[in-house]
Amino acid sequence: MSLKLEPMTQKTFDEIYENSIHEYAHEHIKSGDWEAEGAIERARSDFEKLLPYGLATENQDLFSVNYLDEMIGYCWLHFEGIKKKTKCFIYDVHIFDSYRGQGLGEKTMLCIEDYCQKRNIHRIGLHVFGHNERAVSLYNKLGFQTTNYRMEKVIGNDTH
């Protein structure tokens, strides 16, 4: 496979950090979780809590996703476990728009799985917004199972 996960450089981290904050805020707004006002600040606060030391933050692995020696996206993995790091939680997988629809998201997920298996990680978890049907379909195809539901019903004239 010519797709690889390469440890993210500081330069790449600096380039994608702000964009990731904006995308995270946008997804929360789109899902109806957050109001637009203050969303960027809220997203930034979340990122600062999760990555207080940037790339050097313990139990966080950030990768550039490279295909044919070109960066096509990135991913962010968090490792946790009571005594040993036995679970990976995928905070973000992002394939740049111009590379979508080519099966590279699936290949990236398989690389993440391989990376975890080589480190004796037994579980991989992730969160996906309900409106992201493409991602939900991919994760189902790859064998991920829903572990909980959060449901919402709009009543009255709420336009959010």
- Alpha-carbon distance 27 to 23, whole Å? 6
Domain membership flag for residue 137: yes
pLDDT in tens, the chain (160 residues): 689 999 999 999 999 999 999 999 999 999 888 999 999 999 999 999 999 999 999 999 999 999 999 999 999 999 987 666 789 999 999 999 999 999 999 999 999 999 999 999 989 999 888 888 889 899 989 999 988 877 878 888 766 5
Distances (CA, A) of 147 to 125, 138, 150: 9, 16, 10
Domain membership flag for residue 159: no
Residue span of the structural domain in which 73 resides: 3-141
Domain membership flag for residue 20: yes
Give pLDDT, residue 1: 60
Q: How many domains does the chain have?
A: 1
Domain membership flag for residue 160: no
Q: Which residue has the tokens 């379909």?
A: 137
Shortest CA distance to 67 belongs to which of 107, 101, 97, 94?
107
Give the CATH number of the domain where residue 13 resides. 3.40.630.30
Give pLDDT, residue 83: 65
Domain membership flag for residue 150: no
Domain membership flag for residue 158: no
Give pLDDT, residue 82: 63
Shortest CA distance to 71 belongs to which of 25, 11, 116?
11
Give pLDDT, residue 159: 61
Domain membership flag for residue 63: yes
Q: Where are the beta strands (DSSP E) in 8-101?
A: 60-67, 70-80, 87-95
Element (H or E) spanning 22, and its range?
Answer: helix 10-31
